[in-house]
A and B are shown apart, each in its own frame.
Chain A
């Protein structure tokens, strides 16, 4: 096995984590990683050896994700997405996750794909703003405002959830 392939193999766990935070469902996320790896291998020459393949792979995967999300939203399917995602997957896939994790995973799925991607690529994947802007293909200012809006939205959703939970408890 050559060095390039070994380096790509080594990035799969992180690609899976990024895909999981974008899509939540494990199989769907792995399908996205699969699309990404297939595209990467066809374009192996675009990646310069000596450089970590991480940014290159994340860029490929991010564009696959965003392009598809845009197509979906043009066809008007996006509206059903958060609902379908949260209802159908409420059960087993993230069974091990605690309530706090499940709530934040739910909330993350409810914010717009652009903001979700900007937030997780920095807050979970640990890329710097400059790297993240590069991967997402947006100016640094746009990235920063997406992160800020994403965090605000996420916080608002979590507070809604907490409020609903306390109402339920009161009603009991």
Chain B
């Protein structure tokens, strides 16, 4: 008995949720009676799931700072190849092996290793810096005048024993800090300022994909991040300082953070 004549078209409709609910039972019966159509449906179902899975990860990626900036009304510089040829672009980011695990601090003068897998963390840190370092009155949630509370609060929230590094020797004073989302967890952001009003920030999470270190800049003339990822934590120092100065600040911040984590 066939109350309704189904066709291949209905396979697509069923797959895409467009088949009326009251036809579903008859459709299933039709599939059972037509092994060839049933096999086709099974393949399409698998392909649909594979398509979905292939791109699902994109939703979990942090939004690049340059895209956020547009919505905030800024027009960031384009990537080098210009606006009109994105469809021909075939950029393949170079994957370079990350050096040994030890000696991060010793090796920091030789940064320059890049690993696209860590871009996401660096981009989150840069995005946070771009948004909050530009704020005059609302840059931080807890000011430096309340430093003890700031450290305790962020430590509890992030799940790491955090000490706000003393960067006075580098010319930077703590402004304060805030709590931010990062990936599936939380991040602490510590903001510093020098006497000329130049700001840098530290971005720290308890989540880490692996062990790595590197530098990352999402665009020309934009802020740059120097980051370390290790088991159980990740830290980025972000600012628009000359590379040598940022490296020196990062080195000092990193060794103090590490000492704090251990203590």
Contacts and interface: CB of A to CB of B under 8 A. Distances in A.
Interface string A78-116: 000100110111011101110011101100100000000
A5 B78 CA distance: 21
A18 to B, nearest CB: 9
B195 interface: no
Interface stretch (B50-58, B104-112, B157-165): B50-58
B44 A31 contact: no
Judged by DSSP, the binding face of A is: helix
A144 B61 contact: no
B91 interface: yes
Interface stretch (B69-77, B178-186, B197-205): B69-77
Interface string B98-117: 00000000000000000011
Given A89-B92, A128-B18, A31 B79 contact: yes
Given A12-B67, A31-B79, A123 B57 contact: no
Interface in A35-90: 35, 37-38, 41, 65, 68-69, 72, 77, 81, 84-85, 87-89
A136 interface: no
A26 B63 CA distance: 12
Contacts of A155: 43-44, 47
B87 A97 contact: no
Contacts of A81: 87-88
B12 A151 contact: yes
B71 A17 contact: no
A31 B19 CA distance: 37
A68 B84 CA distance: 9
B92 A37 contact: no
Question: Contact residue range for chain A?
Answer: 35 or more
Tier of interface size on chain B:
35 or more
A101 B53 contact: yes
Interface string A137-172: 000000010011001001100100000000000000
B262 interface: no
Given A38-B75, A69-B87, A95 B95 contact: yes
Contacts of B53: 100-101
Classify the secondary structure of B's interface with A.
helix
Given A96-B57, A144-B12, A124 B79 contact: no
A93 to B, nearest CB: 6
A14 B59 contact: yes
B171 to A, nearest CB: 32
Contact of B54 (A28, A41, A104, A147): A104
Nearest to B62: A13
A92 B94 contact: yes
Contact of B63 (A12, A89, A96): A12
B70 A34 contact: yes
A33 B68 CA distance: 11
A160 to B, nearest CB: 14
Nearest to A80: B88
Interface of A: 1, 5, 8-9, 12-14, 16-17, 20-21, 23, 25-35, 37-38, 41, 65, 68-69, 72, 77, 81, 84-85, 87-89, 91-93, 95-97, 100-102, 104-105, 108, 119-120, 122-124, 128-129, 144, 147-148, 151, 154-155, 158
7 contacts: A13-B59, A20-B58, A35-B86, A88-B90, A91-B92, A92-B93, A147-B16
Given A21-B51, A128-B18, 14 more contacts: A13-B59, A16-B63, A30-B64, A31-B89, A34-B70, A35-B86, A38-B70, A41-B71, A84-B90, A89-B92, A95-B116, A101-B50, A147-B12, A155-B47
